Amino acid sequence: TGSGGGGGGSGSRKTPLPLYRDEVSNSLPPEFEKLTNKIGIQIFKINSNVTAIQKLVSLSSSSNTSAKAAAQDWSKRINDLIETTRELVKDATTDIKQLSTFPLGPANGAAKLTQGKLQRDFQAAALQFQRVQKEAVATTRAKLEQDKQKERQMLKSRNSQQLLIDAEESDRASATGAEGGLQAEALDLLPEGPTQADLEYQESLITSREAEIREIESGVQELNEIFRDLGNIVQEQGGMIDNIEFNINSIAENTAGA
């Protein structure tokens, strides 16, 4: 509504974005702005990776492909992306801690707002990452149960197959002439059961999924430590401006979600 009236006294000078950039650069060392930019990029990458992981988890849980390589590929891509994001979160945590060490006084109100917003945005991104890791664990557990069930069926099928073969061979050994030839044909027509290689592959798949679950759950525990660190940082700073802006954002988010 007020877009037309703001250009009156500006002349040809463009207002820098964000509006507080001049104040930040004048009153604080350049490292502060470099660090805030770096953290902003890290948060963007974490959020992008979380979105990609969510899509892969969804594809993995709904895909009905029978190709072994495809089944493994989804899992590998999810775990690789989780590992990459975990490293991003660790690096960003270090930078957030460093950002909190800058001495910000009453004259640095805008910089303090930036500092507080980055902390909250990072915490929100890390929380989303934790949630998607839990989704990945749940999906992998479901796949693990399917794999174990398939292995049980394969073993049952193989045992049944072996019983049939033993019975046919026993009958053939006691038969002679043409009858023996017919029973040899019958043996060839028996349905083919799972091979030893099939069983070994299934076992390796189960072992791999169990390792994936342990790895992701370990990452979730690491994030819990990070959340504790972030909580300590915010407590130590205890800025009124941060609290006011946080409350405003919370109200806006609750209104948007209603």
The CATH number of residue 95's host domain is: 1.20.58.70
- Residue 96's pLDDT band, with cuts at 50, 70 and 90, is very high
Q: Average pLDDT, stretch 174-188?
A: 52
- Cα–Cα distance measured from residue 248 to residue 258, given in angstroms and rounded to the nearest whole number: 15
Query: Would you say residue 141 lies in a domain?
Result: yes
C-alpha to C-alpha distances, 131 to 22, 47, 123, 172, 213, nearest whole angstrom = 38, 12, 12, 61, 14
Between 180 and 47, where is the model more confident? 47
Write the DSSP symbol of residue 29: -
Q: Average pLDDT, stretch 13-24?
A: 48
Between 133 and 185, where is the model more confident? 133
Checking if the pLDDT of 26 tops 80, the result is: no
Query: Would you say residue 160 lies in a domain?
Result: yes
pLDDT, position 121:
93
Between 187 and 248, where is the model more confident? 187
Q: Average pLDDT, stretch 167-189?
A: 54
pLDDT, one tens digit per residue, over 36-80 is 999 999 999 999 999 999 998 888 776 555 444 455 567 788 889
pLDDT, one tens digit per residue, over 211-242 is 877 887 777 777 777 777 777 776 666 543 34
pLDDT above 70 covers what percent of the chain?
57
8 Å CB contact between 216 and 136: yes
pLDDT, position 128:
92
Query: Would you say residue 226 lies in a domain?
Result: yes
Between 95 and 170, where is the model more confident? 95
Q: Average pLDDT, stretch 172-177?
A: 57
pLDDT, position 159:
62
DSSP string, 153-211: HHHHHHHHHHHHHHHHHHHHHH--HHHHHHHHHHHHTSPP---HHHHHHHHHHHHHHHH
Domain with 131, as residue range(s), is 30-57+72-100+111-171+193-249
* The residue type at 85: T
Task: Provide the token pair at 227.
Answer: 């959340």
Give one word for 52, left, alpha or beta, with left for phi > 0 and alpha for psi -120 to 50: alpha
Q: Average pLDDT, stretch 11-36?
A: 62
Query: Would you say residue 150 lies in a domain?
Result: yes
pLDDT above 90 covers what percent of the chain?
18
Query: Would you say residue 17 lies in a domain?
Result: no
Domain count, the chain: 1
- Is the four-CA dihedral 220, 76, 60, 206 of positive or negative sign? negative
pLDDT, position 192:
63
Checking if the pLDDT of 251 tops 50, the result is: no
Task: Provide the token pair at 77.
Answer: 């891509």
pLDDT, position 58:
85
Query: Would you say residue 181 lies in a domain?
Result: no
Query: Would you say residue 86 lies in a domain?
Result: yes
Q: Average pLDDT, stretch 110-134?
A: 90
Query: Would you say residue 163 lies in a domain?
Result: yes
